[in-house]
Chain A
Amino acid sequence: SQQGEEDPQALSIQEGENATMNCSYKTSINNLQWYRQNSGRGLVHLILIRSNEREKHSGRLRVTLDTSKKSSSLLITASRAADTASYFCARGDGGFKTIFGAGTRLFVKA
């Protein structure tokens, strides 16, 4: 399978809470990206973190990368109902491909 492991598969939280999603991968990477997908739409790029970076922020998003554990996490702080979507991690394999995980389905209750 092309897909990495994402955890949890689904997450339901209350508005205002933080949401944390994790991603693990098996092979070496040169970068890791996070995307968001609303139902019935294409994916939207959120953030890219390179293999020599450990943490990156963008607004309410915080991404960490631990290359020794081959894992990354996406934290969404102070979640809103509009954050309800599927979130995917994707790794650049050093070649041409960007390989996606199976995703975490986040539901934020108002």
Chain B
Amino acid sequence: GAGVSQTPSNKVTEKGKYVELRCDPISGHTALYWYRQSLGQGPEFLIYFQGTGAADDSGLPNDRFFAVRPEGSVSTLKIQRTERGDSAVYLCASSLRGLGDSPLHFGNGTRLTVT
């Protein structure tokens, strides 16, 4: 595809519910990142995939958050038992190589609102 695609663009859910956020990276990009951005702040690192494996998940805030990338392309970020504090914009990015030395290409994000 032309760029990184994230769906849905907006998600409103009730406290305690389960949500899945999808990211379709640029074709051929082996590295995929998830970030979370609160209003007025910079993106906060959550997890990094190189191929199918999570190379670094140290940014996931707790065990309610989980992400997968089963075929090394599309990734899904899963949040269980959502809390109001999970409300934020979730950004996905991909890059050709990863390793922090190649530019990240971002999607437009999914705005999650937990009521």
Chain A residues in contact with chain B, CB under 8 A?
2-3, 30-31, 33, 35, 40-45, 48, 88, 90, 92-103
Known: A88-B42, A98-B33. Is A44-B101 also a contact (CB below 8 A)?
no
B42 touches A103 (CB 8 A): yes
B42/A96 in contact, CB under 8 A: no
Task: Flag if B103 contacts A97 (CB, 8 Å).
Answer: no
Binds A, one of B11-19, B48-56, B76-84: B48-56
Q: Across the interface, name the chain B residue whose C-beta is closest to A9.
A: B40
- Summed over the interface, the residue pairs from A and B with CB atoms below 8 Å come to a total of 74
In whole angstroms, how far apart are the Cα atoms of A100 and B48 in the complex?
14
Within 8 Å CB of A102, what residues of B? 40-42
Report B55 CB to chain A, min CB distance, Å: 5
Chain B residues positioned under 8 Å from A103 (CB to CB): 41-42
Contact of A97 among B42, B100, B105, B109 (CB under 8 A): B100
Q: Which A residue sits closest to B31, measured CB to CB?
A: A96
Interface residues on B, range: 20 to 34
Which residues of chain B have a CB within 8 Å of any CB of chain A? 4, 31, 33, 35, 40-45, 48, 50, 55-56, 59, 91, 93, 98-101, 103-109
Contacts of A98 in B (CB 8 A): 33, 45, 100, 104
A44's nearest neighbour on chain B, judged by CB, is: B106
Query: Given that A96-B98, A96-B99, A98-B33 are contacting pairs, would A43 and B45 also be in contact in the complex, using a CB cutoff of 8 Å?
Result: no
The chain B residue with its CB closest to the CB of A103 is B42
Q: Would A43 and B91 count as touching, CB distance under 8 A?
A: yes
The answer on a CB contact under 8 Å between A95 and B56 is: yes
Most chain A CB atoms below 10 A, which of B33, B43, B56, B109: B43
Let me know if A96 and B41 touch, CB within 8 A.
no
Query: Is B44 a contact of A2 with CB atoms below 8 Å?
Result: yes
Chain B residues whose CB sits within 8 angstroms of the CB of A97 once the complex forms: 45, 48, 56, 59, 100
Given contacts A97-B45, A100-B42, A103-B41, whether A45 and B103 have CB atoms under 8 Å apart is yes
Distance (whole angstroms) from the CB of A45 to the closest CB of chain B = 4
